[in-house]
Amino acid sequence: MERWPWPSGGAWLLVAARALLQLLRADLRLGRPLLAALALLAALDWLCQRLLPPLAALAVLAAAGWIALSCLARPPRLPVATRAVLITGCDTGFGKEAAKKLDAMGFMVLATVLDLDSPGALELRACCSPHLRLLQMDLTKPADISHALEFTKTHTTSTGLWGLVNNAGLNDVVADVELSPVATFRRCMEVNFFGTLQLTKGILPLLRRSGGRIVTLGSPAGDMPYPCLGAYGTSKAAVSMLMDIFSCELLPWGVKVSVIQPGCFKTESVKNVGNWEQRKQLLLAGLPQELLQAYGEDYIEHMHGQFLHSLSLALPDLSPVVDAIIDALLAAQPQRRYYPGHGVGLLYFIHYYLPEGLRRRFLQAFFISPYLPRALQPGKPGPTTT
C-alpha cells in the first residue's frame, strides 16, 4: 500500500498542539507516562500507515492521541485561595515535606510536631512563611489533642479549615505476632487509630462547615498480611476502615475522604537503622525463654536483616506522596485511594486477583523471605513444655 505521510503529520500536529496547551496550563507533566504514550503513538502510527487507508490512519492516530492526552491530563483543581490545613506528624518525612510544599503554594498550614525544638520543627521555621504555625501534639495524650483543636479553631476563625491530613503514625516492632508484646499493639493503636479518631472527630465541625477534606496516610500493610508487621498492619487496617465509614457518613455534608497507601519511601524513620537495631535488642531482652527457645535468636536476626534489606530499597524521593496529598486536598473529585510508589499497583493486583498461595509467596519474596524457627529445623530440639 502506498504510504501518504500527510495524514500522519496532521494527527501529530493536533496531538502536539493539545499537549503544548496542556503543558502551558500545567494540566500535563513532562515525565515517563507522557514519553511512554508518545512512544506507543509512534508505534501505532507505523502500523496505521501500513495497514489502513490514509484518512482512516489519520482518524485512528488523532483519536488515540486525544484519548491518551485526556487520560494523562491532571484533573481540575480548586484554587488555593485562603485555605487552611492541619497536618499531623510534621517533625519528619511526609508531614514535613507536605507542610513545606503546601506553605509554598499559599495554604495556611497548621503543623503539629512532637517537639517544637526538633530538627524538623526548626527547619520548618527557617524555610517556611510566617503563615505556617507550629504546635506541639502527642496523639497519645488527650490533653494535647484538645489543645490542638482549640488552637485550630482560634487560627481559622477568618478562613475556616479546609483540610485535615492525618499523617502521624507509629511502627513499634517488627516481629511475628506471637513474639510481639501486646503492649506494642496498644501503642500502635493509640497513635494510628485512637489518636487519629479523637482528632478527626474533634475537627469535624470545622470540616462540615467548609465541606472540606480528610486525607489519611495508610499503608499496604493494612490491606494485606505483611509478615512481621502485625501490630502496625492491624492499626492501619482499622484506620482505613474508619476512613471508609467517614467517607459514607460525611457524603451529605460535602466532606470528601481519601486514604493514601504509599510504598516504601526513605523517610527519617526508615533511614534510622540504629533505632531498628535498638528495638530488636529490646524485643530479644523481653522474650520469654520458652519463645526464644522455640524460635531461636537466629530466626529473629534473619527477620531483622530481611526487614533492613527491604528498607534499603526504599525510594528516596518523597514527592509522589506529597503530590497525592495535594491532589486529595485540591482535586475537584479526589480519589478514595491513592497508591504512590513504584510497584504498589502491581502489589495490589497480585493481592486481589491471584490465588492465596501465590499472594503469600510473593509477599514473602517481596518483603521477608521465610525462615524456619529453631524448633522446626531438622535435628534441632523442640520447645519444652511444663
| Contact between residue 363 and residue 226 where contact means Cβ atoms under 8 Å apart | yes
For the beta carbon of residue 363, count every other beta carbon within 10 angstroms.
18
| Contact between residue 165 and residue 85 where contact means Cβ atoms under 8 Å apart | yes
What dihedral angle (degrees, nearest 10) is formed by the CA atoms of 151, 153, 154, 159?
A: 130
Nearest-angstrom CA–CA distance, 345 and 326: 20
Nearest-angstrom CA–CA distance, 245 and 247: 5
Nearest-angstrom CA–CA distance, 109 and 316: 24
Helix H or strand E encompassing 133: strand 133-136
Is 348 a catalytic site residue? no
365 φ, ψ (degrees, to nearest 5): -70, -35
Query: Which three cell numbers mark 140?
Result: 497519645
Alpha helices in the chain (DSSP H): 5-24, 32-51, 54-72, 93-105, 119-127, 142-155, 182-189, 196-210, 230-249, 268-271, 273-286, 289-295, 297-312, 319-330, 344-353, 356-366
Question: Residue 73 corresponds to which amino acid?
Answer: A
Query: Which three cell numbers mark 280?
Result: 530488636
How many residues can be counted in the chain?
386
Contacts of 41 (CB under 8 A, 6+ apart): 15, 61, 64, 65, 68
Active-site annotation holder among 226, 232, 338, 339? 232
Contacts of 31 (CB under 8 A, 6+ apart): none
Residues marked as catalytic: 232
